[in-house]
């Protein structure tokens, strides 16, 4: 058994590692859920929100070109939107009320069609894929239900500039909209189901969202430019005021000065790894090469290197007391030392799924290795002193040694065998 | 606040400037109290303290504010804030001495907030943290993200057997394997979604929709919520811009607040807790550097002795040889330093990038290419593997040394794969 303090620290470290893994897993599973659902057939009840985009923007590959809509079109769109919004409200009321509720007609002229559309909500949802027998339930559930009176069926999608709404107002507006060039996507079939694979290229983002997104980008750009290239008097004055304030705080202080920030720690860790690797290279070179025999001066020079043994670090190495706050949050170490405080849009371009998968796998592998290196250092720091201190008296020590070897040298995966020389007994099975 | 732009200086303006600056600050910080609280804090009014403790907690915690954190009792939040501030080097002891139950010290808390604001671009950083991500993001460099708060309820368990550690390690390995498998699937799905929605985005440089954007089309209710979040963020961004324009008057005011405080006594009477000298990442680092230095000294000694034996003696040739070597060393170190500085100076891309699927091979276009990132990651992978290997080798040596002290045992290493 390991001593209590040691146990606590090691278990805490491993738990930390497990928790961070679990958190990633949780996020990944959430993303997977969303992505899988998007690639399935979209439930009719969850179809894209009605959106009065201007002009017929249907295309498959061609860039959209919105021709200016006529006032007539706008008016009709307006009517449609209102009808649809009301339909949504009604649907909400319906789903609350349960099944079998008749759809109230929106306009007097189509009472018949409305009553026909009283298929219970559950059925319509279940028939996500084609159910050509049943009359398509009307717009309450299906914003793009083709009006049955039309020759052929037209399937209109978001952004196409019009929607087949409730059977009820649809007939009137249908006639008007027929003039517009609304290209039916599905030729003569009535696939009510929407799949991303087939019709994904026809989606369009809502106007309100687009506006908000572009304003967002604009504001971030403004903030970023304020951050970087600012030479305005106000900013300079503020900067001096801030420095003065900080100095005043420091001089009136009762506690010792600043400690290492996490960014500096990150940089020093990197320096450490670099030096270690360089040292390894040197030490493994044969000593026979004269040119490599300069280790002595190297050692001497290294001790005086200001860029590594910075004043702060010197303080760290010599006086570790009083500089660490207990329970200091072990914040994430940014990779280069300090992420950009102001967000800016950064793109990562990939060209094939294979490429993306390779990239993602590598990224995870690097993260895992990073964690492994950290854990290895922690384990070394805890277990090796224990083994050194204890007298190699008997089985307990041997067992500990063997287990430590497994953890430290084999990544916890393989065990070595210890054989006792004098007798036929074997201390531990392979 | 209104966007009145007064060109001519107006005395009434000056009086309005401070409240407007504070109001902008209050609008841009998350969960900030009303401007009135700030004013009351200057005069150390009791109602100001709890609000400011909560604000500091929200501002300092690295995790997004969700229910679990926000519901921590005020006392726990206060303790955590103190610890976090100390770890950042906050100089004023008076804050540490404030009672944990959070009813006092409005002025000290105001000073702490100002200190944080002065040290760096705090509102911008907070906004970046909570930025609404519209794209499918993939972080380019991976940081060991560990929870900043010590998990509550995981307390001292007493002694454990080393086999428990082995079990935990195995569990960790399994989790990583699952994670990697899941990640591969997610990439495949992303690839599909991106290619199916090609041509849909209004922004031509993006070309296709992201999962978030497609999802908002599938689920209008979710879309409305997303829109709301975006609009809130926009409001906060505008407030941040306004804050930057007006902040000078705030700093002038903070000077007066600092003056109103009584000066602190210089010798520290006591520190609330004696910190563990080897605590945390920095402690590990210190030990690592010390170990490296030791190793270097040992190796140097051995080499020096052998070298002197080989080359032998003194004399002009020896001195010349030594000078030549020193020159070579100086050159080498300079090269090392240059490559180090280069590494630092190079604007390495940080943080999450939005994934964009494209066939285009425009070399100079904006954005990182996956191939470049893959290459960089492979280099990093090799580096880490080397470090891990070396550490394991070190352990093997050490354990062999310890075991060798005990005669009569044969250590059979596991078969190499």
- pLDDT, tens digit, for every residue of B370-384? 998 999 999 999 999
Q: Which of B179, B374, B377 sits opposite A28 (nearest CB)?
A: B179
- Is a pLDDT exceeding 80 seen at residue B4? no
Q: What is the pLDDT of residue A2?
A: 82
CA distance B101 to B78: 7
Interface of B with A in 82-101 (CB under 8 A): 83-84, 86-94, 96
- A48 contact residues in B (CB cutoff 8 A): 217-218, 220
Closest Cα to residue A331, out of B78, B144, B350? B144
Smallest CA–CA distance, residue B404 to chain A, in Å, is: 10
Instruction: Please state which of the ranges A212-216, B81-85, B138-142 shows the lowest mean pLDDT.
Output: B138-142
Q: Which two tokens stand for residue B389?
A: 């290997």
Q: Is B199 on the interface with A (CB under 8 A)?
A: yes
3-state secondary structure A109-177: HHHHHHHHCCCCHHHHHHCCCCCCCCCCCCCCCCCECCCCCCCCCCCCCCCCCCCECCHHHHHHHHHHH
Q: Which two tokens stand for residue A88?
A: 């949504």
CA distance A301 to B411: 41
How many A×B Cβ pairs under 8 Å?
Answer: 630
Q: Do the Cβ atoms of A409 and B392 come within 8 Å?
A: yes
Q: Is A284 on the interface with B (CB under 8 A)?
A: no
Instruction: Please state which of the ranges A214-218, A395-399, B218-222 shows the lowest mean pLDDT.
Output: A395-399
CA distance B44 to B29: 21
Interface of B with A in 309-328 (CB under 8 A): 322, 325-326, 328
Residues sharing a CB contact under 8 Å with residue B312, sequence separation 6 or more, in sequence order: B318
Closest Cα to residue A195, out of B273, B252, B336, B192? B192
Whether the pTM exceeds 0.80: the reply is no
Smallest CA–CA distance, residue A268 to chain B, in Å, is: 8
CA distance A351 to A355: 7
- Is a pLDDT exceeding 50 seen at residue A319? no
Task: Work out the average pLDDT over A422-430.
Answer: 54
Residue in chain A lying closest to B412 (CA): A417
Q: What is the pLDDT of residue A52?
A: 45
Adjacent-strand bridge partners of A420: B409
CA distance B354 to B190: 12
Strands B137-139 and A347-350, by their bridges, are unpaired
Smallest CA–CA distance, residue A158 to chain B, in Å, is: 9
DSSP assigned state of A426: B
Q: Is A155 on the interface with B (CB under 8 A)?
A: no
Interface of A with B in 305-334 (CB under 8 A): 305, 307, 313, 316-317, 320-334
| ipTM entry | 0.79
Q: Is B388 on the interface with A (CB under 8 A)?
A: yes
- Is a pLDDT exceeding 80 seen at residue B326? no
The per-residue b/e assignment along A78-109, b for 16 or more CB within 10 angstroms, e otherwise, is: eebeebbebbbebbeebbeeeeeeebbbbbee
CA dihedral over A77, A83, A87, A93, signed as positive or negative: positive
Q: Are A169 and A107 in contact (CB under 8 A)?
A: yes
- Is a pLDDT exceeding 50 seen at residue A80? yes
For an interface test with B, which of A38, A63, A81 has the most B Cβ atoms less than 10 Å from its Cβ?
A38
- Is a pLDDT exceeding 80 seen at residue A292? no
B137-139 β-sheet, strand order:
B137-139, B352-357, A347-350, B368-369
For an interface test with A, which of B25, B72, B218, B363 has the most A Cβ atoms less than 10 Å from its Cβ?
B218
CA distance B121 to A116: 62
Q: Are A252 and B258 in contact (CB under 8 A)?
A: yes
The mean pLDDT of chain B is: 81
Closest Cα to residue B132, out of B32, B28, B227, B31? B227
Q: Do the Cβ atoms of B118 and A246 come within 8 Å?
A: yes
Q: Do the Cβ atoms of B151 and A63 come within 8 Å?
A: no
| pLDDT tens per residue, range A82-93 | 777 777 777 776
Q: Are A414 and A406 in contact (CB under 8 A)?
A: yes
| pLDDT tens per residue, range B76-106 | 888 888 888 888 888 888 888 888 887 888 8
Q: Is B368 on the interface with A (CB under 8 A)?
A: yes
The torsion angle over the Cα atoms of residues B295, B299, B301 and B303, rounded to 10 degrees, is: -170
Q: SS3 for A418?
A: strand
CA A291 remoteness from chain centre: 51
Q: Do the Cβ atoms of B88 and A261 come within 8 Å?
A: yes
| pLDDT tens per residue, range A173-184 | 444 444 444 444
Element (H, E) at B368: strand B368-369
In DSSP notation, A197-261 reads HHHGGG----HHHHHHHHHHHHHHHHHHHHHHS---HHHHHHHHHHHHHHHHHHHT-SS------
- B285 contact residues in A (CB cutoff 8 A): 265, 268-269, 272, 316
Residue in chain A lying closest to B263 (CA): A252
- Is a pLDDT exceeding 80 seen at residue B5? no
């Amino acid at each position: 058994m390991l001593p209590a303090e040691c146990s606590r620290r090691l278990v805490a470290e491993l738990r930390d590692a497990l928790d961070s893994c679990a958190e990633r897993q949780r996020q990944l599973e959430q993303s997977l859920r969303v992505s899988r659902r998007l690639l399935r057939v979209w439930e009719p009840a969850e179809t894209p929100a009605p959106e009065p985009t201007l002009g017929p923007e249907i295309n498959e590959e061609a860039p959209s070109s919105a021709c200016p809509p006529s006032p007539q079109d706008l008016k009709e769109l307006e009517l449609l939107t209102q009808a649809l919004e009301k339909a949504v409200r009604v649907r909400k009321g319906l789903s609350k009320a349960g099944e079998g509720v008749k759809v109230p007609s929106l306009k007097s002229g189509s009472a018949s069609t409305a009553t026909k559309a009283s298929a219970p909500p559950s059925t319509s949802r279940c028939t996500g894929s084609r159910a050509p027998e049943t009359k398509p339930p009307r717009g309450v559930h299906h914003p793009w239900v083709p009006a049955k009176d039309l020759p052929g069926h037209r399937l209109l999608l978001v952004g196409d500039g019009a929607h087949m709404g409730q059977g009820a107002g649809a007939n009137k507006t249908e006639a008007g909209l027929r003039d517009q060039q609304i290209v039916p996507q599905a030729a003569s079939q009535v696939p009510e189901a929407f799949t991303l694979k087939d019709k994904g290229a026809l989606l369009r983002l809502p106007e309100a969202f687009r506006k908000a997104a572009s304003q967002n980008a604009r504001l971030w750009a403004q903030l970023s430019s304020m951050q970087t290239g600012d030479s305005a008097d106000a900013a300079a004055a503020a900067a001096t005021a801030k420095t003065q304030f900080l100095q005043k705080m420091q001089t009136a202080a009762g506690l010792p000065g600043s400690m290492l920030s996490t960014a500096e720690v990150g940089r020093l860790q990197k320096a450490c790894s670099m030096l270690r690797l360089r040292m390894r290279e040197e030490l493994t070179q044969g000593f026979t090469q004269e040119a490599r025999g300069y280790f002595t001066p190297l050692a001497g020079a290294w001790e005086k290197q200001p860029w590594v043994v910075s004043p702060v670090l010197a303080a760290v190495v010599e006086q570790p007391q009083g500089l660490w706050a207990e329970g200091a949050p072990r914040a994430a170490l940014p990779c280069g030392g300090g992420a950009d405080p102001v967000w800016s849009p950064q793109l990562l371009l990939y060209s094939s799924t294979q490429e993306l998968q390779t990239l993602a796998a590598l990224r995870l592998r690097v993260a895992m290795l990073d964690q492994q290196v950290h854990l290895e250092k922690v384990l070394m720091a805890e277990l090796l002193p224990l083994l050194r201190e204890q007298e190699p008296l008997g089985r307990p020590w041997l067992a500990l040694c063997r287990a430590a070897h497994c953890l430290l040298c084999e990544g916890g995966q393989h065990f070595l065998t210890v054989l006792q020389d004098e007798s036929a007994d074997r201390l531990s099975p392979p | 606040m209104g966007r009145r732009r007064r060109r001519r200086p107006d005395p009434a303006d000056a009086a309005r400037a401070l409240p407007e600056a504070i109001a902008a600050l209050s609008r841009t910080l998350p969960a900030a109290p009303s401007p009135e609280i700030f004013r009351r804090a200057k005069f150390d009014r009791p109602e100001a303290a709890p609000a400011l403790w909560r604000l500091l907690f929200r501002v300092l915690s690295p995790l997004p504010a969700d229910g679990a954190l926000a519901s921590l009792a005020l006392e726990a939040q206060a303790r955590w804030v103190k610890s976090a501030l100390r770890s950042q080097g906050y100089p004023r002891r008076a804050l540490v001495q404030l009672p944990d139950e959070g009813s006092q010290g409005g002025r000290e808390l105001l000073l702490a907030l100002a200190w944080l604001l002065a040290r760096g671009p705090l509102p911008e950083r907070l906004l970046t943290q909570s930025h609404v991500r519209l794209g499918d993001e993939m972080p380019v460099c991976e940081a060991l993200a560990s929870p900043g708060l010590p998990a509550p309820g995981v307390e001292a368990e007493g002694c454990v057997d080393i086999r428990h550690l082995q079990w935990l390690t195995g569990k960790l390995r399994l989790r990583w394997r699952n994670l990697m498998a899941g990640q591969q699937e997610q990439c495949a799905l992303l690839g599909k979604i991106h290619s199916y929605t090609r041509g849909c985005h209004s922004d031509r440089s993006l070309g296709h929709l992201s999962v978030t954007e497609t999802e908002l089309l599938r689920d209008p209710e979710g879309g409305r919520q997303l829109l709301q979040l975006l609009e809130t963020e926009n409001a906060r961004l505008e407030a941040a811009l306004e804050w930057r324009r007006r902040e000078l008057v705030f700093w002038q005011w903070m000077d007066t607040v600092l003056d109103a405080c009584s000066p602190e006594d210089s010798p520290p009477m006591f520190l609330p807790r004696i910190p563990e000298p080897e605590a945390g990442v920095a402690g590990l680092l210190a030990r690592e550097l010390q170990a490296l230095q030791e190793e270097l000294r040992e190796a140097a000694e051995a080499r020096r002795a052998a070298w002197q034996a080989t080359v032998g003696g003194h004399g002009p040739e020896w001195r010349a040889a030594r000078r030549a070597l020193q020159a070579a060393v100086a050159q080498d170190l300079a090269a090392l330093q240059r490559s180090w500085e280069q590494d630092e100076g190079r604007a390495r891309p940080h943080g999450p990038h939005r994934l964009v699927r494209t066939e285009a091979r425009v070399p100079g276009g904006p954005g990182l290419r996956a191939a470049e990132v893959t290459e960089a990651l492979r280099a990093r992978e090799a580096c880490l593997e080397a470090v891990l290997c070396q550490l394991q080798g070190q352990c093997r040596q050490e354990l062999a040394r310890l075991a060798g002290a005990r005669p009569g045992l044969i250590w059979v290493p596991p078969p190499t794969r």
